[in-house]
Amino acid sequence: MERLVECVPNFSEGRNADTVRALVSVIRAVKGVFLLDEEMDQDHHRAVLTFVGAPEAVEEAAFQAAHAAAGLIDLGRHQGGHPRVGATDVVPFVPIRGVTMEDCVALARRVGERIGRELNIPVFLYAQAASHPDRANLEALRRGGLEGLAGRMTTDPASAPDFGPRTLHPTAGATAVGARPPLIAYNVNLQSGDLDVAKAIAKTVRFSSGGLPCVKAMGVALTSRRLVQVSMNLTNFERTPIHVAFEAVRREAERRGVAVAGSEIIGLVPQRALVQASEFFLKVERFDPTQVLETRLELVLAREAPLREAGPLGQVASAAGPGELTSSVSGFLDAVSAGTPTPGGGSVAALAGALAAALGVMTCRIGEPASQSPGAFDHRSMERRLTALREKLQGLIQADADAYASVVRAYRLPKTDPARPEAISTSLRIATEVPLETAALATEVASLLRALLPQTKATVASDLKVGLLLALAAIEGALENVKTNLKTQKNQSLNKDLAIRIQAITQSLVELKRL
């Protein structure tokens, strides 16, 4: 599946298993949706379900789950440790693969509008989808609980919902719908029944009170276990990893003479987050994330699959799917670092060119005047061309990896196969043409950025210069790949033709460096 969105709705029900099973059934009934996880907590009185799928399928499943929850859950009878404002309390959409945060924002708006219109439930957009900056955080919406929200909705125009009525639904309350990056719900349980201790520690570690970056925290009583808990959301585990949050809570607990009883993860967690914790607690030296068996297997199989499953020459399918190498920065960097042949220098050169063009587009948009007089520098035309170049260069990232796979496949043909020499020559030609196209497009990008530089605002001049340096690096890097491939190309007629094109690009590169 090329496009994946994750949805993690939280429902105000953690004690009635039949209700949660009914919600799970509604989600599973939507074609193209895959349930990954379900969690219930009786002390929080909350259920968290995690499912993924194509955007359209996830959109439908999220609405149907909210519809079902409105008929199954009565918020007027709800008593639990977790703050909430709705039967379906929050519905976040998370981009996973092949979709952007902007796509998820649009998805959140569609679902929110439908919940408000069809279910008569007030909906507030939050996180990246928030219509107002003060609604980005759920804490603002939950301030004062249901009573506080009801009062603000009827008396304060600024507190009107984004969709639906101006009053709470009699049983389902309100719903927050949003878009956000992945987060980790992580709780540390304490050997104490003193809720004030948990609340004090939560205040110390949460970012809003001057604590750890990207950490939200609150104290919760676990009545069924006679413990208290510091319940946290880690909104960016790269900035504050799990082990950092754990150690902060442990230290604060020890200062108060309280021991840690254990910790728990609610829902799913990225593998990288667990690797970080392992590195810290085990003190592993010079650890490489690709030493994880499953990670290495995925990377190697993804690189080898095209060689095993390819059709006729020139039709090698990428195991990762079109554009998947570019679906995330971290994923691409891991793939480059993996110790496998692709993606390699050609893909990296294409990425550098695409980044250069993207910086040019940004500069055009920031530097464009409100109105242009006749004969003025045309930022809009420049933006359109740079956008087109960026898209072409982005496509060449995957094309370069695919071309190299074709070369490897050709060389693996038996030496007795009469088609082998032609297969090698053809695949080498393709593997040479791709970086040559990268160099040509990057040359145009560099020329446009040079022309744009005198017309740009001082505030973004440095960004444009970074783009220019990237474009020049893309040209040189791509040409290096071209020259390497030419050394093994036996078609002399083709070599002469390519040499002419290489010379033209090389001359342009020299001139660009002089400017």
**Catalytic residue positions, numbered:** 82
Q: How far apart are CA 70 and CA 9, in angstroms?
A: 13
Residues 6+ apart with CB under 8 A from 345: 477, 480, 481
Residues 6+ apart with CB under 8 A from 299: 290, 334, 335, 338, 340
- Asked if 73 and 85 touch (Cβ cutoff 8 Å), the reply is no
Element (H, E) at 154: helix 145-155
What distances in angstroms separate CA 39 from CA 75, 151, 180, 448, one per listed residue? 19, 32, 20, 53
Alpha helix (H) ranges present in 137-270? 138-142, 145-155, 195-205, 242-255
The Cα 235–Cα 78 span in angstroms is 27
Please count the other Cβ atoms lying within 10 Å of the Cβ belonging to residue 96: 18
**CA neighbours within 13 Å on the CB side: how many for 136?**
5
How far CA 469 is from CA of 244, 293, 353, in Å, comes to: 37, 38, 10
Q: Where are the alpha helices (DSSP H) in 192-231?
A: 195-205
CA–CA distance, 92 with 424 (Å, rounded to integer): 50
Name residues whose C-beta falls within 8 Å of residue 191's C-beta, 6 or more positions apart in sequence.
Answer: 227, 258, 259, 260, 261
Cβ atoms of 355 and 467 closer than 8 Å = yes
Distance CA 368, CA 375 (A): 14
Torsion 297-299-300-305 (CA) sign: positive
